[in-house]
Amino acid sequence: MSDFWERALVYPIVLGVLALLLWPIAGALPAALFFGIGILLRLRMHLRNLAMLEKWLAAPEAQPVPDGTGIWEDAFSQLDKMSQRHRKECEMNSSALQQMEQATSALPEGVAILDAADRIEWCNVLAENHFGLDSERDLGQQITYLARQPEFVNYLAARNFTEPLILRDHRRDNLVLSVKLIAYGNNKRLLISRDITQLERIENMRRDFVANVSHELRTPLTVVNGFVETLHDMEHLENDMSRRALQLMGEQTHRMKSLVDDLLTLSRLENDHNPLREEFVEIRSLLDEVYRQGELLSEGKHTLQLQIESHANLLGSHEELRSAFTNLLTNAIRYTPHDGTITLSWLEREGQAIFAVKDTGIGIAAQHIPRLTERFYRIDRSRSRETGGTGLGLAIVKHIAIRHQAKLDVASEENKGSTFALVFPAKRIAQSQ
């Protein structure tokens, strides 16, 4: 028999035996009375314990577990242990939660958890500041009811979160946020926002500075260049050395002028107040023009091919597209040894229009490819300079691509050649007018 039953039955058995012993001595009625009173006393003890249990259950956090009497003592002691364990677990959980909250509050980024319907489940203090939320009042609310900027609403609706969204809030101190959504778990999303107002300000200052310096340098450079050329062409120049010096000065001022021109072009492309011209660009004639320019530059040293497979035209800026196409072709000519072949092509693939320049030149090692569009990134400085490069060509191409929602793809192998391709999305394609 288990310990519980032993202890539970010992009292009624002893009481029964005593009552049986009393029966022959005192008679049946007193023995029955003795047994009945004993059972009633036991019942009272159970009821009292039950009442204590009920009272404790009404507010378990506010009072200790009662001690209990008889067989209840053991049960209450087990309950006490369980309740202490539970309390400890709760304390641990709440301290872990507190630590999590402290850690997320210390994050330099705003964090909010959204459910499948974009309702806010939780957010930290920075997210409250960034989106004007109140973590107590707005929990369960759809975030787009509270942060209503159309770009943000569209970003959430598009469900394409590969690129962060730059969100400018002109009402709130010109706040600039970089917003990113990350899908996780069961249809949940983490909204991460970073305040990049200061970064943008510095970037704007840098841009203005470069634009202003380039602009200021332009006039003096043109004047110096003009004089150097005039002096160089003068017939009564004293000696060869002077002539050579003037020639070198001319080359260097010319280089500086190209650099200033490229810097100004980049500044114009980066300027937010310079929207893209949305004109119909007839690609066939543009390619003919670029091809002819390539022939002049190559001076017959390369085989140039033009392959036009598509009748598609583009919507965009004629001037910018010409500059991007020419830049890519010029590079191919500059980085391809004599007798190499350069192929310009225009085609359509999977609804996208592609302009590609393929060369059989010196190629590019894989580790350089991701950095080619950085300003002044050159693999071989002297080759770039010798061939008249400024180190800004591909940075210009990248900006033009971004303005046309296009992508610059580079495939290359050292000593074999390279292919630079501008891939335009379907929305940029315009059929013949």
Residue labelled with tokens 């959980």: 93
Binding mask 287-326 for ligand ADP (x = CB under 6 A): ----------------------------------------
Cα-Cα end-to-end distance for the chain: 100
Cβ proximity to ligand ADP, 270 vs 359, nearer residue: 359
Distance CA(172)–CA(421), nearest Å, equals: 41
- Shortest Cβ distance from residue 341 to ligand ADP (Å)? 13
Site map 336..365 versus ligand ADP, x via CB under 6 A: -----------------------x-xx-x-
Residue 66 makes contact with ligand ADP by CB under 6 A: no
Site for ligand ADP in 400-429 (CB under 6 A): 418
Q: How many residues bind ligand ADP (CB under 6 A)?
A: 21
Site string for ligand ADP, 361-390 (x = CB under 6 A): xx-x-------x----xxxx---x----xx
391 is a site residue for ligand ADP (CB under 6 A): yes
Q: Measured from the CB of residue 327, what is the shortest distance to ligand ADP in angstroms?
A: 6
Residue of this chain nearest to ligand ADP (CB atom): 389
Whole-number minimum distance, CB 388 to ligand ADP, in Å? 8
Q: What is the 3-state secondary structure (H, E, C) of 359-401?
A: ECCCCCCHHHHHHCCCCCCCCCHHHHHHCCCCCCHHHHHHHHH
The tokens for 81 are: 């242990």
Residue 101 Cβ vs ligand ADP, minimum distance, rounded to whole Å: 48
> From CA 168, how far away is CA 179, in angstroms rounded?
10
What does the block give as tokens for 275?
């929207």
Residue 111: strand pairing partners: 192
Cβ-based nearer residue to ligand ADP, 253 or 390: 390
The DSSP line for 136-193 is: TTSTTSBHHHHS--HHHHHHHHHT--SSPEEEEESSSTTEEEEEEEEEETTTEEEEEE
Integer-rounded Cα radius of gyration of the chain: 42
Binding site for ligand ADP (CB under 6 A): 331-332, 335, 359, 361-362, 364, 372, 377-380, 384, 389-395, 418
